Amino acid sequence: MKVVRDLAELQGIRRLRRASGRSLGFVPTMGALHRGHLELVAEARRRTDEVAVSIFVNPLQFGPGEDLSRYPRDEAGDLAKLRGAGCDLVWMPPVEAMYPPGAATVIEVAGPAEGFEGAARPGHFRGVATVCTKLFHQTGADVAVFGEKDWQQLQVVRRVVADLDMAVGIVGHPTVREADGLACSSRNLRLSPAERALAPQLAQEMRAAVERMAGGATPGPVLAAAEARLGAAGFAPEYLVLVEPETLRPWQLGRAGEARLLAVARLGDVRLLDNMAVRLPG
């Protein structure tokens, strides 16, 4: 496994790979890797000849009230996991390589970036869109694999790639969960033992709501009741909403088809994100 920290070196590797005709699967991360990340690597491995992973804690994704310095970092542990997963290349750029002095270009996204995490974290998806675009160009990836846990992020990246005519295929991989149902996330490391024990209730309430709605129950009362139970249990729910999967527009009452249930609830100072597919009957 090759670890690269210099952009010129990465570009040289990209040229050699293109000349060889070998395809590249890519998994962008901010490190603090867990089982979910490794399943994305495995998915990329199934689809391409070689796999690259980036580890870069992107400052553009953090707003004024968010502490970039508190984001978990474990370089040695991350590299050991990637080596064990059969990763071929790890791109670990310094901040100045991604955003050199004088850099003045960012990517603004509307559509699926509006509302929800876009509203809760102003500028977040500008950072996501900008860094992903740069990473796709830097690596020359043929396929990039993203987890479906961050559903809105996945739709934003798909929108950017389509709008900018980028020649990279975007693959969504189903959310990877712990044995108790909690969606795997780097932020789970920040939960206290008591919070970690409570955290799976978010997925439990969502799953119960999905089953009720799939059975014909009216979404509004079902979601309101689930949100109330989460609040009584000690969560601070921010939203629990039913949306169109790609556009994230509100789901129309009485419409049949596959919707997406998006949820964010805070436990202590940790915001837990999750989502599930819902097939509503006609």
Q: Name the DSSP class of 250.
A: B
Enumerate the domain spans of the chain.
Answer: 2-173, 186-277
Q: What is the dihedral of CA 151, 93, 6, 77, to 10 degrees?
A: -90
pLDDT (0 to 100) of residue 21: 97
CA distances from 45 to 61, 93, 135, 233 (A): 27, 22, 18, 41
Dist CA 273 CA 182 (whole Å): 10
pLDDT (0 to 100) of residue 65: 77
pLDDT (0 to 100) of residue 71: 87
Q: At what angle do helices 75-84 and 35-47 cross, to 10 degrees?
A: 40
* CATH number of this structure's domain 186-277: 3.30.1300.10
Cα–Cα nearest to 4, from 52, 49, 44, 45: 52
| Annotated catalytic residue, options 34, 37, 137, 173 | 37
* CATH number of this structure's domain 2-173: 3.40.50.620
N-to-C CA span, the chain:
51
Pair 245, 220: CB distance under 8 Å:
no
Dist CA 234 CA 224 (whole Å): 16
How many degrees, rounded to 5, is the angle at CA 116 between CA 219 and CA 138? 130
pLDDT (0 to 100) of residue 179: 97
pLDDT (0 to 100) of residue 48: 98
Cα–Cα nearest to 173, from 149, 155, 152, 153: 149
Cα–Cα nearest to 202, from 168, 160, 235: 235
What single string gives the DSSP state of each residue in 123-188? THHHHHHHHHHHHHHHHT-SEEEEETTSHHHHHHHHHHHHHTT---EEEEEPPPB-TTSPBP-GGG
Taking only the tens of pLDDT, the chain with its 282 residues reads 999 999 999 999 999 999 999 999 999 999 999 999 999 999 999 999 999 999 999 999 998 878 788 888 999 999 999 999 999 999 999 999 999 999 999 999 999 999 999 999 999 999 999 999 999 999 999 999 999 999 999 999 999 999 999 999 999 999 999 999 999 999 999 999 999 999 999 999 999 999 999 999 999 999 999 999 999 999 999 999 999 999 999 999 999 999 999 999 999 999 999 999 999 998
pLDDT (0 to 100) of residue 247: 97
pLDDT (0 to 100) of residue 200: 98
| Phi, psi of 171, deg, nearest 5 | -115, 125
Dist CA 108 CA 219 (whole Å): 32
37 catalytically annotated: yes
Q: What is the CA radius of gyration of the chain?
A: 19
Cα–Cα nearest to 145, from 79, 223, 51: 51
